[in-house]
Amino acid sequence: MKRVNLRKALPTAYEAVFNLNKTIDEAVIAAGISKGFSHLLLLRASLINQCAFCLRMHTRDALEAGESNDRISVLGAWRETEYFDEKERACLALVEAITTISIGQISDAVYAEAAETLSDQEIAAVEWLGIAINIWNRIAIASRYPVAEPQSPPD
């Protein structure tokens, strides 16, 4: 079923979200969070939200930024692996809590873990990153951005 494309229907709102995202990207860089790992955070939220459009995009972006196939492939079960260091684990937990905020808010335990491991600047960057990807997931899902297999070139 065809849906209203939110980008086209209200471009000024879409542009405002886009500009917010640019500010957040700058904060992520300033906080020392690598571009590759930031895409893993975006990918983790998109996995939870089941946003196919963002899953495909951030997987490609993470690979392009130097993340490994292994880290991407275990992202859904990151707690069971040794692929992520203490800071990355705190970031992943915080993004998950933001994404699943309706299931118990951001618990004191998750926030305490983040506060013990991350600077205030890192916490703010990760929280804003989580907020932004949840906005983008909802835009893509509500608009049903197409995710089709690329067509093979004609023979």
Predicted pLDDT at 114: 97
Provide CB contacts within 8 A for 68, sequence distance 6+: none
The token duo for 16 is 């405002």
Predicted pLDDT at 104: 85
Given a cut of 70, the residues of the chain with pLDDT beneath it are: 150-155
Task: Determine the Cα–Cα distance for residues 26 and 143; give it in Å rounded to an integer.
Answer: 27
Considering the domain 24-143 in this protein, what is its CATH number?
1.20.1290.10
Predicted pLDDT at 152: 53
Predicted pLDDT at 151: 56
Predicted pLDDT at 39: 98
Please report, for the chain, the start and end positions of each structural domain, with discontinuous segments joined by +.
24-143
Predicted pLDDT at 30: 98
